[in-house]
Amino acid sequence: MNQRFSLKDRNAIITGGTRGIGLEMARGFLEAGATVTICSRKQASIDGALKELEEYKDRVQGISAHVGKVDELERLIADAESRFGPINILVNNAGTNPWYGPIVESDDAAWDKTLEVNLRGPYVLSKLVARRMIAGDGGSIINISSVAGQTAALLQGIYSVSKAGLIMLTKVMARELGTHGIRVNCICPGVIKTKLSEALWADPEAEKSAAALKALGRVGTTDELVGAALYFASDASSFTTGSVLNVDGGMVL
């Protein structure tokens, strides 16, 4: 069974891989035997992440890339392939949430920024990687959405719309790419202790309120997403595609 979860000889790209959920997934993939390329907009963030992953330095690299810019995504793929070979795993993890408040009070810039990073980026990068996977031996694409994509999250309307779109992108691409040996699945975290969701847990009262919404009675931690990612990335999920897996402590119940 351990071999079913092995990522030996697999090559992964993880966007937003320098902190939080992305960094933990990178660590988990490396522990499972994969080679990993992490990306972020800021070189300083990349340098910090690579320092944390120092023990795997021969199998990990960091590339500066903005998921909203096609030329930078093409360079990301080229650099990943040049160093480690064909891409077998893509994790679309990079995300943003610049607006907390009602949609009617938001401005267009907040909408454009959120959709650019949370939906357009995964759309473009998945297309580019899938074309290579079709020409090769298939692979696994994993989208990191949110339970906010399944419910109308209070004061996070734009974010909810973007994450709902990512769930449907998962299902559409899973249906289109299945016969090419490409599986496309989605993980929906609840409130996890990351910088992105800091407004929902940093304050003790906010964390208490968030915890009360979950059947397990607590907020999650980044390492608790790794098992789901390993499942989707490995042969353990060889007959699973188009799946939307909630890792939310029972929040949507």
Which residues have CB under 8 Å from 32's CB, separation 6+? 5, 6, 7, 8, 230, 233, 234
Q: Phi, psi (5° rounding) for residue 183?
A: -100, 140
Assess whether 159 carries a catalytic annotation. Answer: yes
Answer for the pair 48, 18: CB distance below 8 angstroms, yes or no: yes
Answer for the pair 93, 21: CB distance below 8 angstroms, yes or no: yes
Of the candidates 56, 100, 123, 159, the residue annotated as catalytic is: 159
- 118-123: which pairs have CB atoms within 8 A and are 24 or more residues apart? 118/159, 118/162, 118/163, 118/165, 118/166, 119/162, 119/165, 119/166, 119/169, 120/68, 121/15, 121/67, 121/68, 121/73, 121/92, 121/94, 122/15, 122/67, 122/92, 122/166, 122/169, 123/169
- What's the distance, CA 5 to chain centroid? 19
150 vs 225: CA distance, rounded Å: 18
Q: For residue 64, which of 127, 112, 16 has the smallest C-alpha distance?
A: 16
238 vs 149: CA distance, rounded Å: 25
Residues annotated as catalytic are 159
